[in-house]
Amino acid sequence: MSFRGLKSKVKSLVDNAQNVEQTLLLICELLKSEIPYYDWVGFYFKNGDKKELKLGPYAGSATDHTIIPFGKGICGQVAVSNKNYVVPDVKAQDNYIACSLTVKSEIVIPLFVNGENIGQIDIDSNTLNPFTKEDEEFLEFVCAKVAVLL
């Protein structure tokens, strides 16, 4: 499915949401199943007042990294920088937390509610350098849609 078609599906899931966790899970499953190079799709959220992220709904293999301190790994860095982070080749990163040996690249987009960075969507790919500006723009759309539920 095209990004355009996926945007309309995401909008419909959010517009018809009855349960936040379930809707986030459906979005993860949609993205993972429709975009061939999205091999793991998940949300992390700020864990209360702690300076750490906690894993939310995800689609893909289970990960040991259910808590990530701010500043650690790609996710922890985005919690601090408030900026998109596109990693074309995870091997080139020093501050990276490996979830699976098959992962070659990663993209993390922060999720803002009322201007505050409260979490993020994280995509792992088994393909090298697959992400373009279109992925960034699409995932920003997803985060902005999801924000209205939070």
Contact positions vs ligand SME (CB under 6 A): 40, 42, 63, 65, 68, 73-76, 96-97, 99, 106, 122, 124
CB 83, min distance to ligand SME, A? 14
Nearer to ligand SME, 9 or 126 (CB): 126
CB 40, min distance to ligand SME, A? 6
CB 87, min distance to ligand SME, A? 8
Is there a contact between 21 and 56 (Cβ–Cβ < 8 Å)?
Answer: yes
Nearer to ligand SME, 42 or 130 (CB): 42
Nearer to ligand SME, 17 or 29 (CB): 29
